[in-house]
């Protein structure tokens, strides 16, 4: 039986977040430099997007560049930015054909001007697409996002646009970079590392975490389906008892 037919299409995660890890180790295994690994990561990105489209997942968020990644060697940072720009340009037609809306989160202002412009163009051109929201987390750090959120909410309080009593989870959600996205249901991290690494901390409060030893450049649609099947075999309780969950489902 093929993997996809084992998926219950009525219970797919709405929002899948991915930490694409292991490009460097994959390249090293081939006797090549780290940049070669990043270049070979694009197939895995395409396979993930196609996998998500084929099961009906509505949002995929990719950790493409963290705030900490600025500390990598300059040549690697430049190569990642070039790769981002070129792939956005090359994939635009495919995004349109597949009805994919592109979105970006993070400290976008800190990216090179060319990357900002390209992103802006692709985000605008794909803005009416509806099948899948593909979000690139760029110069992203969850703590930085939360600091930014607190500053923006505080400004509204100071300007009397909002009272302290009105601040609740919904208000916080609405001020995060991800204000237009649902909570993360499933987080996938490749390469065997079992950490969250400052990714979507608020949004992953109830997410199921899935770790695989596959290195990101080797990740394929079938691996994405494996993660969904694993997710569907778990019981999401959101703090309730097992019995309460069963009675709700019946
Ligand atoms: C982690 O592997 C990967 C990154 C820091 C960058 C992710 C970038 C891509 C997947 C390139 C393609 C993406 C876009 C958006 C064009 P690592 O370098 O940390 O690997 P290692 O842990 O084995 O060293």
- Cα-Cα-Cα-Cα dihedral of 35, 48, 231, 25, to 10°? -20
State the catalytic residue, choosing from 14, 50, 69, 98. 69
Whether 185 is catalytic is no
pTM: 0.95
CA–chain centroid gap for 213, Å, is 19
Residue-level pLDDT at 243: 87
Atom of ligand 1 nearest to the CA of 193: 22
Give 159 Cα–ligand 1 centroid separation in angstroms.
41
| H-type alpha helices, 56-105 | 74-97
What's the first-to-final CA gap in the chain, in angstroms?
28
Pocket of ligand 1 (CB under 6 A): 20-25, 34, 38, 41-42, 45, 64, 69, 80, 83-84, 87, 136, 191, 216
Mutate to test the pocket of ligand 1, among 19, 49, 60, 80 (most ligand atoms within 8 A of CB): 80
CATH of segment(s) 3-249: 3.40.1180.10
DSSP 183: P
Mutate to test the pocket of ligand 1, among 30, 36, 38 (most ligand atoms within 8 A of CB): 38
Atom of ligand 1 nearest to the CA of 26: 23
Tens of pLDDT, residue by residue, the chain (250 residues): 689 999 999 999 999 999 999 999 999 999 999 999 999 999 999 999 999 999 999 999 999 999 999 999 999 999 999 999 999 999 999 999 999 999 999 999 999 999 999 999 999 999 999 999 999 999 999 999 999 999 999 999 999 999 999 999 999 999 999 999 999 999 999 999 999 999 999 999 999 999 999 999 999 999 999 999 999 999 778 888 888 887 755 4
56-78 pLDDT, tens digit per residue, is 999 999 999 999 999 999 999 99
φ, ψ of residue 154 to 5 degrees: the values are -60, -40
The β-bridge relationship of strands 208-211 and 186-189 is parallel
Whether 21 is catalytic is yes
Integer angstrom CA distances of residue 37 from 27, 62, 117, 174? 5, 17, 25, 36
95-119 pLDDT, tens digit per residue, is 999 999 999 999 999 999 999 999 9
């Amino acid at each position: 039986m093929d993997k996809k037919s084992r998926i219950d299409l009525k219970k797919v995660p709405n929002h899948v977040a991915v930490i694409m890890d292991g490009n460097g180790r994959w390249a090293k295994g081939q006797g090549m430099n780290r940049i070669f690994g990043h270049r070979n990561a694009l197939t895995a990105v395409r396979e993930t997007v196609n996998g998500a489209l084929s099961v009906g997942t509505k949002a995929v968020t990719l950790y493409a560049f963290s705030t900490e990644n600025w500390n990598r060697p300059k040549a690697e940072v430049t190569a990642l930015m070039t790769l981002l720009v070129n792939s956005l340009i090359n994939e635009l037609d495919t995004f349109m054909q597949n009805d994919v809306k592109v979105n970006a989160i993070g400290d976008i202002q800190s990216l090179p001007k060319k990357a900002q412009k390209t992103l802006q163009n692709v985000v605008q051109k794909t803005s009416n697409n509806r099948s899948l929201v593909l979000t690139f987390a760029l110069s992203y750090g969850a703590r930085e996002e939360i600091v930014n959120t607190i500053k923006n909410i505080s400004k509204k309080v100071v300007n009397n646009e909002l009272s302290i009593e009105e601040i609740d989870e919904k208000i916080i959600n609405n001020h995060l970079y991800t204000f237009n996205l649902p909570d993360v249901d499933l987080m996938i991290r490749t390469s065997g590392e079992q950490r969250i690494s400052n990714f979507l901390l608020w949004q992953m409060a109830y997410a199921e975490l899935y770790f695989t030893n596959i290195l990101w450049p080797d990740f394929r649609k079938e691996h994405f389906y494996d993660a969904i099947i694993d997710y569907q075999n778990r019981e999401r309780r959101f703090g309730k008892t097992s019995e309460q969950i069963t009675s709700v489902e019946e």
